[in-house]
Structures are given as structure tokens and as C-alpha cells.
């Protein structure tokens, strides 16, 4: 059991988007495949009619109908499609069988509606490459008699389709597909028209919600136009295009953006203007913003990684291993008890030294030594402040220019970085020098104490 549907083509269309009979025949006669592949290198795999040149006959009949008849309907276009489990487009025997079923269906329809011209086009150039027949039947016969009450799907088309496909398709897989389709067919035919419409509306609402949710999700993720289309295609949502276009073109011939994007999901069609109230230009702006956000995140991640690397290097440079000072083991001689005469002599000497006035030269030299001491003690603090200021300047420049390309090789940044490295090495050198000076002072003091003890000699 194949799926069958019918469309009416008018001489003067009631809506702007409706096609005329002439346009329908021109569309079907076009031999260029919409989706070229090994399955369908050309558009029409098979084509046959009961009147020879169907295009010429149809044009002549349309002119006669426009002059001598009040009928507005020019033809009926019936579409009969097959599942891949029923008939495969890769097998030429299946292609012949599909075309034969189309011809038999057209002849059975004519038995009910009267003798008139028809043409069957067998194609497989859709996106899914399913085999399908386009059966075109003229509304007016040679005497300009029309089909009364039109072609009814429920009374005419569906029973004929079920009968012929049931006779022609006898395979196990084909029967399984027929049973599956028959269940859905029985469910639809059992319902009244109002219930059928209500069911269709609920199904369409579910499809609309599905499209709405997925389009919004993709708009949050996608960064380019191509990614947007591919992500929607993965979720079975197609952006419909014209028959002559290989891919949907977002621009018109004049170079302006189109007013809407046409989405389709399982036969349900809706535009972006109705769905999310956005045109293609606004959608592309959203995608561009997503791209900028993604690039900013990448820059921030790269910056954090470089900052961590710099911090580890700085920590490695700042860690200064102190020089180990080994305690000097001395054999201390026991202090001899001082006599009273020696203590009196020492007190007199200290009094005399304190009373003696200092020369001007000695005072100046002492003052200079004090100044030098102060400077030496303040060197580490001054370099430390300079280092802090240099690091702060470097960080301010980096925070301001990190979004620029190749900012790490900038001359100003390299100059600031080199200054920081120089000051840090200078500070470490000064700290080492101070530690050595302290060690030498301690050693000299100990040596002086040792010499004094030796001069004094053992106590009496």
C-alpha cells in the first residue's frame, strides 16, 4: 500500500502561491534532477501518457477551456509514493513496477471519472530518494466535460490505490508495510471530518512545538550559517528551497536578505517569521554574536593558561634558597676569675675614652658611615617598590590589550616584562649580598672576641 494524495491546479489561482496547470506540467517535464545521485541521474526515470505529446495536448485543451468553459480547474495532480522497503530506486525492476502501478492507477481512475488524457512521471530525486509517481489527469475531456465533484481521496483514490498495490506488491516486506499503512488509513477513515481536522491540528501543534524548541536550541549553539542548517537537519528539520536551488539561498537576486526562512518537519511547514518572529538577517546576527562569545571564551582560557604559566615561573624565580651557616664549634676556655685590680683598670680606660673629644674628621667620617648604612638598609625596600610598580604596570597593560592578536610579542609588553625580570634578579642579588654581609659581620665579631680573650690571657 503506497501513500497517495491529490492537488488541484487552477486556470486563475485563488491564492498567489498556487500553481497553474501549465506551471505544473512545466515543473514535471524539467529533466534536471533536484538531488543528483546514482539513483536518480535525471529527473524522470520513466514517463508515459495515453495521448503522445501530453504537453502540447494539455496546452491546447487549456486554451479551449478558457474560451468555451466556465471551469477554473485545469488538472488534478496525484502523487503516489512508495516506501524503501516496498520498492528500491536502485533496482530497475522495482522502478518499472512503480511506473506500471502508476499507469494502472491512472486507468482505474479514468474508469470512474470518464475517458480523458493523463500522463505518469516516475521519479526518485527527492532528498530521501523514495520512488514516487506524479499522475496528471486533465479536468476537461475532448468535449470539455469536467470531473463532477472533483477527485475524492476517500471515495476514489484511496480504494483504487489499496487494490492495485495489494495486487502488485506481494513480498513479505511489502505486505508488512501495507499492514502498517492500512492501520493508519483505517484510523483516518473511521474519523469524521471534524475529528480528523482536530487530530490534524493537535499533530501540527506538536510538530510546531518541536520545531520551535529545536530552532531555539540550535540558535544558542550554532556559530555559522552552515552549522545552523546542519544541526537542524540532524533533528529532521529541513529549510525548504526552490527546485532550481541546490541549497537554500538566504539572499534574493537583488542581494537583499529574504523575508523569512521556511522550515519543514514531517510535512508540517512554517516560516521563521511566524515561529520566532525573526527574518534571516536577524538569525545571522544571532549566529555572529555566538561566534564572538565563543572566541572570547577561547581567549580567556588561553589567557588563564598563560597567567598560570607566568605565575609558576615567577614563583620559581622568587624562591631563594638561604645559604646554610654551619655552626662553628669552638673549644671554649674556662673564664678565669678577674682580679679587683684588673676591673678597676678597665673602668678607668672606658672613662678616659668617653671623655676624649672627637676630631672634626672623625665626626664627618662617622656621619658618612651612618648615611651609607641607611642607604644600604633602604636598597631592598626601594627595589621591592620598583618591582611592585613594574608588575602593576605590566598587568594593567595586559588587561587592556589581551583581546588584541599577538599581544604577547608587542614591544611595550616585552619592555615591561624585561623590566620586571631585571628588577627581580637585582632584588635577589641584593638579598644574597645582605646575607653574606651579615655572615661576615658575625664571623668578624667572633674573631675579635677570640683575639681579646687571647690578649687578656688566663686570669691570675
Helices 172-190 and 158-168 pack at an angle, to 10 degrees, of 160
- Number of C-beta neighbours around residue 51 at 10 A: 14
Mean pLDDT of the 451-455 span: 79
Q: How far is Cα 100 from Cα 287, in angstroms, rounded to an integer?
A: 49
The residue ranking higher by pLDDT, 245 or 287, is: 287
- Number of C-beta neighbours around residue 124 at 10 A: 26
12 touches 154 (CB < 8 A): no
Q: How far is Cα 87 from Cα 93, in angstroms, rounded to an integer?
A: 9
Specify the DSSP element, H or E, that contains 79: strand 73-81
Of the CA atoms within 13 Å of residue 300, those in its CB half-sphere come to: 6
In this predicted structure, the answer to whether residue 342 has a pLDDT above a threshold of 50 is yes
Specify the DSSP element, H or E, that contains 8: strand 3-10
> What is the residue whose three cell numbers read 672634626?
360
Task: Tell how far CA 239 is from the center of its chain.
Answer: 18
User: Counting every residue, how long is the chain?
Assistant: 460
Mean pLDDT of the 220-242 span: 87
1 touches 177 (CB < 8 A): yes
Q: For residue 249, give the 3-state DSSP assignment.
A: coil
* Per-position DSSP letters for 197-242, written without gaps between them: HHHHHHHHHHHHHHHHHHHHHHHHH--SHHHHHHHHHHTT-EE---
189 touches 158 (CB < 8 A): yes
Cell reading at 395: 598587568
Number of H helices, E strands in the chain: 12, 8
Torsion of CA 446, 452, 457, 460, to 10 degrees: -110
Q: How far is Cα 222 from Cα 287, in angstroms, rounded to an integer?
A: 6
In this predicted structure, the answer to whether residue 348 has a pLDDT above a threshold of 60 is no
- Per residue in 425-439, pLDDT (tens digit) is 888 888 888 888 888
Q: How far is Cα 140 from Cα 448, in angstroms, rounded to an integer?
A: 134
Percent of the chain scoring above 70 in pLDDT: 76
Specify the DSSP element, H or E, that contains 1: none
For residue 366, what pLDDT is reported? 44
- Per residue in 9-65, pLDDT (tens digit) is 777 766 554 578 888 888 888 888 877 777 788 888 999 999 889 999 999 998 898
For residue 457, what pLDDT is reported? 64
Percent of the chain scoring above 90 in pLDDT: 14
Cell reading at 377: 638598609
In 208-354, DSSP assigns E strands to 238-239, 262-265, 268-271
Max distance between CA atoms of the chain, in angstroms, equals 161
Mean pLDDT (the chain) is 78
DSSP code, position 126: S
For residue 21, what pLDDT is reported? 86
- Per residue in 95-154, pLDDT (tens digit) is 999 999 999 999 999 999 889 999 999 998 887 888 999 999 999 998 988 988 888 887
Q: How far is Cα 134 from Cα 139, in angstroms, rounded to an integer?
A: 16
Q: For residue 120, give the 3-state DSSP assignment.
A: strand
275 touches 212 (CB < 8 A): yes
In this predicted structure, the answer to whether residue 192 has a pLDDT above a threshold of 70 is no
- Per residue in 299-308, pLDDT (tens digit) is 888 878 777 7
Amino acid at each position: 500500500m503506497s501513500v497517495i494524495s491529490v492537488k488541484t491546479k487552477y486556470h486563475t489561482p485563488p491564492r498567489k502561491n498556487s500553481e497553474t496547470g501549465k506551471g505544473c506540467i512545466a515543473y514535471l517535464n524539467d529533466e534536471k534532477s533536484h538531488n543528483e545521485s546514482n539513483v536518480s541521474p535525471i529527473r524522470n526515470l520513466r514517463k508515459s501518457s495515453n495521448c503522445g505529446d501530453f504537453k502540447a495536448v494539455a496546452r491546447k485543451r487549456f486554451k479551449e477551456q478558457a474560451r468555451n468553459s466556465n471551469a477554473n480547474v485545469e488538472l488534478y495532480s496525484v502523487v503516489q509514493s512508495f516506501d524503501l522497503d516496498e520498492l528500491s530506486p536502485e533496482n530497475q525492476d522495482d522502478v518499472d513496477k512503480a511506473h506500471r502501478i502508476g499507469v494502472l492507477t491512472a486507468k482505474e481512475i479514468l474508469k470512474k471519472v470518464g475517458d480523458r488524457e493523463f500522463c505518469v512521471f516516475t521519479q526518485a530525486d527527492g532528498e530521501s530518494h523514495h520512488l514516487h509517481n506524479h499522475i496528471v489527469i486533465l479536468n476537461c475531456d475532448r468535449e470539455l466535460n469536467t470531473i463532477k465533484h472533483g477527485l475524492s481521496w476517500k471515495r476514489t483514490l484511496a480504494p483504487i490505490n489499496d487494490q492495485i498495490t495489494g495486487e502488485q506488491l506481494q513480498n513479505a516486506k511489502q505486505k508488512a508495510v501495507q499492514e502498517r499503512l492500512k492501520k493508519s488509513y483505517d484510523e483516518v477513515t473511521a474519523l469524521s471530518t471534524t475529528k480528523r481536522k482536530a487530530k490534524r491540528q493537535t499533530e501540527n501543534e506538536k510538530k510546531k512545538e518541536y520545531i520551535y524548541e529545536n530552532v531555539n536550541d540550535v540558535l544558542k549553539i550554532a556559530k555559522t550559517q552552515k552549522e545552523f542548517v546542519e544541526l537542524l537537519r540532524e533533528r529532521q528539520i529541513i529549510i525548504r528551497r526552490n527546485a532550481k536551488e541546490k541549497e537554500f539561498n538566504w539572499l534574493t537576486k537583488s542581494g537583499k536578505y529574504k523575508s523569512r526562512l521556511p522550515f519543514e518537519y514531517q510535512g508540517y511547514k512554517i516560516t521563521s517569521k511566524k515561529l520566532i518572529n525573526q527574518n534571516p538577517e536577524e538569525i545571522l546576527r544571532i549566529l555572529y554574536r555566538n561566534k564572538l562569545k565563543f572566541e572570547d571564551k577561547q581567549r580567556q582560557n588561553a589567557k588563564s593558561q598563560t597567567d598560570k604559566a607566568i605565575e609558576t615561573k615567577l614563583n620559581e624565580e622568587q624562591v631563594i634558597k638561604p645559604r646554610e651557616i654551619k655552626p662553628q664549634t669552638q673549644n671554649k676556655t674556662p673564664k678565669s676569675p678577674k682580679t679587683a685590680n684588673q676591673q678597676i683598670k678597665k673602668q678607668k680606660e672606658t672613662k678616659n675614652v668617653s671623655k676624649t673629644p672627637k676630631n672634626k674628621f672623625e665626626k664627618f667620617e662617622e656621619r658618612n658611615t651612618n648615611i651609607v648604612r641607611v642607604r644600604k638598609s633602604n636598597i631592598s625596600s626601594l627595589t621591592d617598590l620598583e618591582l611592585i610598580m613594574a608588575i602593576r604596570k605590566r598587568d594593567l597593560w595586559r588587561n587592556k590589550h589581551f583581546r588584541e592578536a599577538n599581544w604577547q610579542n608587542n614591544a611595550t609588553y616585552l619592555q615591561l616584562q624585561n623590566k620586571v625580570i631585571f628588577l627581580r634578579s637585582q632584588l635577589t642579588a641584593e638579598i644574597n649580598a645582605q646575607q653574606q654581609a651579615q655572615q661576615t659581620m658575625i664571623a668578624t665579631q667572633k674573631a675579635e672576641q677570640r683575639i681579646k680573650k687571647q690578649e687578656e690571657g688566663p686570669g691570675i
